[in-house]
Amino acid sequence: MIMQMNQQFDLAFNFLQNTGTHLFLTGKAGTGKTTFLKKLKEVSPKRMIVVAPTGVAAINAGGVTIHSFFQLPFGPYIPSANKEGNQSNNYTNKFSRDKINIIRSMDLLVIDEVSMVRADLLDAISDVLCRYKDRTKPFGGVQLLLIGDLQQLAPVAKDDEWNLLKDHYSSTFFFDSKALSESNYYCIELTQVYRQNDSSFINLLNNIRENRFDDDTLHCLNQRYIPDFKPDDRQGYITLTTHNYQAQQLNNRKLAELPGKSYTFQAEINNDFPEYSYPTDQHLELKSGAQVMFVKNDSSGEHRYYNGKIGKIVFINPNKITVVGEDGNEIQVEKETWSNVKYTINPETKEITETIAGTFSQYPLKTAWAITIHKSQGLTFDHAIIDASAAFSHGQVYVALSRCKTLEGLVLSSPITRNAMIKDLRIQEFSSSVATKQPQKEQLELAQQQYFLELAIELFNFESIQQRLQYAAYMVYTHLQKLYPELNTQYANTRDAFRSVITEVGGRFQQQLIRMVTGNPNYREDEAIQERIRKGVAYFIDHIDSLCTSLEENSAVEIDNKESRKAVNNAISKFTEELHQKQEILKACQNGFSVVCYLTAKAKASIEPPASTKKRSERSSSQPAKVTVSSDILHPDLYNSIRNWRYELATEKGLPPYTILQQKALLGIVNTLPTSSRELLAIPGIGKKVIENYGGVLLELVEKYKNK
């Protein structure tokens, strides 16, 4: 297993598992970045979300696109406009409760292919996370794993977009994001190349990657320029082009030149699988003799093919496709299924789980005499013809060359010139600084200790709850002082007592832990630290319960004024929710403190609202919760009776029938058979006005029907 053999992998994994420090994982093409991510997903204890800038990259990484997960538009994001409240409404989309819960419980955000992520997009991500996590920290306090190679493909910004962004950013690259510049992060560069074994070819690629493009490198590379090269079809050469139209033209021409009948295979698409993420053609046209590329790893476990493997179709009919690979082995190709992942919260375990939003089933093939360099990123080829003479962006030439396993398997259709080696000075500056951000074992140990201490201190930090309580007391004083003077007094007394008995004592506990942990190499096994935490937990559980239980119970009061009810309920709900979270976390640490235990408890508590909040909300509201009503008509006779009454009354008043009683309200009455005004009020479409005007008549019609 690579992770067991590679010290860099181990260091990166320890940082991600045992610290809260952000990490930029980079490395040359073929150094195993994708392998690392796959293993991390399998074994990491943290609640993780994986995103990528493009649909194909997201599918390959087993995640979702950045824009879909964070519900972001594709236009530029102006950070100052957001802080001033002038940002487009597109950036303030409301999230579903499930999405909010996922964000609140997230420990680690993985962004794959980060080289293609613009700085403003990273800041947009940070603002969303801050909105639902911690507003005081960049990225809401969520740990980041950024994976990518800056010497590969760069982010795209149109001229009009850059004109809007250039006053805010030094460049479009992710490392110039404002949120990241405010964050502490390390860089780990993977150096062991697994794709290529030829040391001279590896050195050549390194020279290109690091902008050491001297005459010897240029000469060596252009030795692979072969004019009018006609590949042997059996060798499976693929042409890499800079533009899509070039690849499409070549593929269409080569397929048309083949003799024999063509067959078109229709993909089966179920539920939500967006077109931009299709891994191959929805209508896949193939012929015998066609050169094809596999676009998925073999799911059978037999390793017959992999994403990027080239082969030739030797037999085809409507029900069977046989491909011969470059190794001469025949492969009976079966349809494969790709999944579009959606993240949800498991209602039982409260864990973040991956669910399948949609699927795409098709033969894992596409015609492959040619593909674009952009689409080749992440793939590996034995033989490739590279047409990079029209390179137009940073990293294109390096990406193209590094797709090949060997220098001998590479053919240039035109010589490489210095002009084709497009380099960005900002990339060079940042790349030179990566070495200074490389952590050693000492930095890991220090980060682990800091993380342990940070979470232990957080356990005994009650300042935020104190602020919530203070605001709730103010709202009760403002709106309920005359109506409920005793409740007002109770809130004021609890506020003051909470500060002296909970918040200030918690501050002293924090100072004690800082002294006990700092400079203590055995902080995790130190029984004195664990005993102090256990005693503190017991103290706060007991005192919070005695101070706040009766306060929550007494807060369930009737408030007639709509605005007052909303203001008071909102303030009390926020206080009780945050208090509940803290109580649940404290309970989880009764037998001792560990990072994993703390994070798990915190994530679960952020998802589950306190039962007292739901009960209080239901009791304090002047209206009962609305019931769910079937669309079927369960009592047709009653339905006709109420409908006729509505029609006659509407005709008498000269009004449309729906203004008397909405259709959903009519169905609600017919299907629930209410016996009181309160039960009527629980039906969607029925409010106090309907009750006042027609409540008696409607209940009488229901009673008459039931007595038949």
What Rg do the C-alpha atoms of the chain give, in angstroms? Answer: 32
Question: Quick check: 63 pLDDT over 60?
Answer: yes
Q: Determine the residue type at 370.
A: A
Helices within 210-291 (DSSP H only): 215-222, 244-257
* C-alpha span between 254 and 263 (Å, rounded): 15
The mean pLDDT value of the chain amounts to: 84
Instruction: Pick the most confident of 12-26, 201-215, 397-411, 621-635.
Output: 12-26
C-alpha dihedral over 515, 521, 523, 527, to 10 degrees? -100
The DSSP call for residue 139 is G
DSSP 295-352: -S--TTSS-S--TT-EEEEEEEETTEEEEEETTS-EEEE--EEEEEEEEEE-TTT--E
pLDDT at 495 (0 to 100): 95
Question: Quick check: 449 pLDDT over 80?
Answer: yes
Question: Quick check: 619 pLDDT over 50?
Answer: no
* C-alpha span between 510 and 528 (Å, rounded): 15
Instruction: Write out the H or E segment, with its range, that includes residue 371.
Output: strand 370-372
Helices within 244-335 (DSSP H only): 244-257
User: For residue 454, what are the CA distances in angstroms to 23, 356, 447, 529, 593?
Assistant: 18, 36, 10, 14, 12
| Least confident stretch, 30-44, 102-116, 213-227, 617-631 | 617-631
Question: Quick check: 85 pLDDT over 50?
Answer: no
Q: Looking at residues 565-591, what average pLDDT do you find?
A: 92
Give 2's pLDDT tier (boundaries 50, 70, 90): very low
pLDDT at 193 (0 to 100): 66
Q: Looking at residues 450-455, what average pLDDT do you find?
A: 92
- Residue 456, SS3? helix
Question: Quick check: 557 pLDDT over 60?
Answer: yes
The DSSP call for residue 124 is H
Residues in the chain: 708
| Least confident stretch, 202-211, 602-611, 641-650 | 602-611
* C-alpha span between 190 and 187 (Å, rounded): 10
Give the pLDDT confidence of 228-277 residue by residue, as tens digits: 888 876 777 889 888 888 888 999 999 999 999 999 999 999 998 888 78
Question: Quick check: 361 pLDDT over 60?
Answer: yes
pLDDT at 409 (0 to 100): 86
Contact 365, 323 (CB under 8 A): yes
* C-alpha span between 149 and 57 (Å, rounded): 14
Distinct helix (H) and strand (E) counts, the chain: 29, 20
pLDDT at 167 (0 to 100): 86
Quick one: what percent of the chain has pLDDT higher than 90?
34
Give the pLDDT confidence of 284-296 residue by residue, as tens digits: 999 999 999 888 8
pTM of this structure: 0.64
- How many CB atoms within 10 Å of residue 19? 24
